[in-house]
Amino acid sequence: MKLTNIAIQAIIDHSPGIKLKLALALNCSEGSINRYIRENDDNLTKAAALEVIRKETGLTDDEILEKGVAASRRK
């Protein structure tokens, strides 16, 4: 599962505090968060990260998570 471009951009555009909150939620460094964002890493879809993203950006799960990735791979 991956984040949508909308969610990635919201994290990038948001105040720097969101990266620190994500780092604390995922028990990692802000450098790791920057890498996760750059690579759209699955760690950003963990429950703790999603909670931070929802709270800080105001986005819904539908706006945060990509849909249909698994279905398109089955073809």
- Interior CA angle at 35 toward 30 and 3, to 5°? 105
Check residue 69 and give its pLDDT.
52
Dist. CA 50–CA 54, nearest whole Å: 6
Q: To 10 degrees, what angle do helices 17-26 and 30-39 make?
A: 100
Note the pLDDT of residue 36: 97
∠ CA 34-11-68, rounded to 5°: 95
Q: What is the predicted pLDDT for the residue at 73?
A: 43
In this model, does residue 2 exceed pLDDT 70? yes
Reported pTM: 0.85
- How confident is the model at residue 43, as a pLDDT? 97
As a whole number of angstroms, the distance between CA 48 and CA 56 comes to 12
User: pLDDT tens for residues 5-57?
Assistant: 999 999 999 877 999 999 999 999 999 999 999 999 999 999 999 999 999 99
